Amino acid sequence: MPAARESLLDAAFTALARRPWPGVRMVEVAAVAGVSRQTLYNEFGSKDGLARALLRRETDGYLHGVERALAEEREPADRLAAVAAWTVGAARGNALVRAALTGCWSDRLPTPSRAPGAASPVPAQRRADAGVPSAAELLALVRDRAVTALG
């Protein structure tokens, strides 16, 4: 159910923009996404699973933006400047990306965690359950992408 999964993540992101994560209710996320609460639980397992998937999606989106900036047909310095501009814009516009980049997690946001126990039966959730990269790991991923693209 990739479409339902993305709709649920979009609904969770919108809910988070309106209220702190502890106030986000699963039943409301499901209703906004137009699916049943059971579908939400089938996809993510729990509110923590939803949080991990949302955090993973946002950090993956940030990294895709880094890759786009590095892939531009420009001088290396201009590509690095584009990465810097993308990073500032992404951090300014997205509290989850800002927290992932800085390591500063407020009580308004879900905190990154790794899933305990067995792997999820949902393939897309397995990646999210591995957790979100720390700020240092995220920086290393950006550095490695830059070295590869500019090397």
Please say whether the beta carbons of 142 and 83 come within 8 A.
yes
Which residue in the block uniquely carries the two structure tokens 């949080």? 51
pLDDT in tens, 21-58: 999 999 999 999 999 999 999 999 999 999 999 999 99
Report the pLDDT value the prediction gives residue 114, as an integer from 0 to 100.
78
More confident residue, 11 or 2: 11
Report the pLDDT value the prediction gives residue 118, as an integer from 0 to 100.
64
SS3 of 98-151: the string is HHHHHCCCCCCCCCCCCCCCCCCCCHHHHHHHCCCCCHHHHHHHHHHHHHHHHC
Report the pLDDT value the prediction gives residue 130, as an integer from 0 to 100.
82
pLDDT in tens, 73-132: 999 999 999 999 999 999 999 999 999 999 999 999 998 887 776 677 777 778 788 888
In order of 8, 37, 141, the CA distances from 128 in angstroms are 14, 20, 17
Report the pLDDT value the prediction gives residue 129, as an integer from 0 to 100.
82
Q: What angle do CA 56, 95, 27 make, to 5 degrees?
A: 65
Q: State the fold for domain 1-44.
A: Arc Repressor Mutant, subunit A (1.10.10)
Report the pLDDT value the prediction gives residue 151, as an integer from 0 to 100.
86
The first and second tokens of residue 144, run together, are 């490695």
Domain coordinates in residue numbering, the chain = 1-44, 56-105+118-151
The first and second tokens of residue 94, run together, are 């997205």
Does this model's pTM top 0.85?
yes
| Residue 63: how many other CB atoms lie within 10 Å | 17
